[in-house]
Structure 1
Amino acid sequence: MDIFEEIADERRTLAALVSGLTPEEEATRSLCTAWSVREVVAHLVVPLEVGLAGFAVAMVLTGGRFDRANVHLARRHARRSTKELVAVLRQRADSRFTPPGMGPEAPLTDLLVHGMDIRWPLGLHRDVPAERVRTSLDFLTSAAGRGLVPRGTSDGLRFEADDVGWAHGGGPTVRGAADAVLLALAGRPAALDHLAGDGVPTLRDRLSAARR
């Protein structure tokens, strides 16, 4: 598969997962604390339906704040039925949209991280293909992906995903399975208890400070 085929596969996999959730599971708070599981799904639908002009309008309505516009659009789309949201993920799975100035690694990473935002609180496990996780780990530790990582998160630390043979950086070590490393880099404190190494206390302090 090329990376766009991987993105399409991730959207279809997510659609299959969501179609089987109960209303209670959809209402569960995700690891992305601003959103419920259902709102995370709606967020992933937004770029498939809202163009740059629509996002610009949302920015105006939310005082020019990107994060607030993101939350606003996700919550607006979450008013739709689950059946509608799943249908969009399936029908537009092959979309090649990428955020301005970014490549396909950005939407792939968004899908992987938010997929875990949904599955982890629900206790649902999935073995993500190793190459996809490595692509996203490379992206989040690159200059292009730094905007999606809380500032300073990875500075002076060495991250190791020991199940996929991936490592980045130098300094005190943060080590664990690739999904936990990916979530930690994306700023999710829930991953910290699944990581080991002398760099974990520093990372914990940084993620705590980023959420204040």
Structure 2
Amino acid sequence: MAAPNTVRSGGDHDERTTVTETEIREQIAAQRGELADLLDELDARDWAAPSLCEGWRVREVLAHMTMPFRLSTPRFVLDMITARGNFDRMADRAARRDTSTRTDAELLACLRENADHPWKPPGGGFAGALSHDVIHGLDITVALGIDRVVPPERMRHVLDANSARSVRYFGVDLRGVELRADDIDWTYGSGAPLTGRAQDLLLVLCGRRLPPGHLRGAAAWRFTREA
């Protein structure tokens, strides 16, 4: 049994653990391009639907994802001062502001046009940028019931690079629970198994509550939304 807060991954991934910066940036570009294609098929009701990010519709999530491509450093500093240094408050205000001044089509075009943008979150590097795009993409697709599977190599990299960091940041209580992916060889934590797709368990790590049917195990109710 894995020790508490221990990540274990196996299979082919163990044979090659180094991912180059070029490969990560290719994965980022692919993730953004694929999500843009998917969002291009949404109708007005979908854009206004709630995402897994509490209080945000699909359009606010996309506004947040594209904020780094549009926000200048001076404006970022000003927004942070206005938000009294609270990044989450600043990001929420920016997302709501941007959805009131830009159309869904403009936000979508911004995502597509910046597939190769070199933005990196502070201290996160390109692995952090990939994680940001994957997690928020799932906030949209899972909430809308779209059965899109993130490629395993992309998912492995996000999980291996960010599992412990995500738990600390989002304050998820995983005491007595072992997350166990049923589509790749990956576990996290120690205790009663909570099983599901790797991408669904990533959302658990990030403090999301999933729609019914995504998770299995005695503790599934703790991380599942009411139907």
TM-score, normalised with respect to structure 2: 0.80
Q: Which amino acid aligns with 1:71?
A: D
1:28 aligns to what? 49
1:60 aligns to what? 81
Residue 121 (structure 1) aligned with residue 143 (structure 2):
yes
- Which protein has greater RCO, CA pairs closer than 8 Å, 6+ apart? 2
Runs of 5+ unmatched residues, structure 1: none
What are the Cα deviations for residues 55-80 of structure 1, in whole angstroms up to 9, with x where unaligned?
22112222322111010111122130
Segment drifting more, 162-171 vs 46-55: 46-55
Secondary structure, in 3 states, of the residue corresponding to 1:104?
Answer: helix
Residue 190 (structure 1) aligned with residue 183 (structure 2):
no
- Determine which of 172, 195, 200 is the counterpart of 1:180: 200
Work out the number of aligned pairs and report it.
203
Q: Aligned partners of 1:4, 1:155: CA distance in 2, in Å?
A: 34
Q: Aligned partners of 2:141, 2:110: CA distance in 1, in Å?
A: 20
Residue 95 (structure 1) aligned with residue 94 (structure 2):
no
Kept after mapping to 1: 8 A contact 2:172/2:207: no
Q: Which amino acid aligns with 1:194?
A: H
Q: Which amino acid aligns with 2:215?
A: L
- CA RMSD after TM alignment: 2.2
Residue 132 (structure 1) aligned with residue 186 (structure 2):
no
Kept after mapping to 2: 8 A contact 1:180/1:191: no
Residue 16 (structure 1) aligned with residue 37 (structure 2):
yes
Runs of 5+ unmatched residues, structure 2: 1-21
**CA displacement at 1:161 relative to structure 2:** 0.9
Give me the identity figure in percent: 37
Secondary structure, in 3 states, of the residue corresponding to 1:174?
Answer: strand
Considering only CA atoms, is the larger Rg found in Structure 1 or Structure 2?
A: 2
What are the Cα deviations for residues 34-57 of structure 1, in whole angstroms up to 9, with x where unaligned?
210011111111011214432221
**CA displacement at 1:154 relative to structure 2:** 3.5
Q: Aligned partners of 1:112, 1:92: CA distance in 2, in Å?
A: 15
2:184 aligns to what? 164
Q: Which amino acid aligns with 2:182?
A: D
**CA displacement at 1:173 relative to structure 2:** 2.1
**CA displacement at 1:192 relative to structure 2:** 6.6
1:112 aligns to what? 134
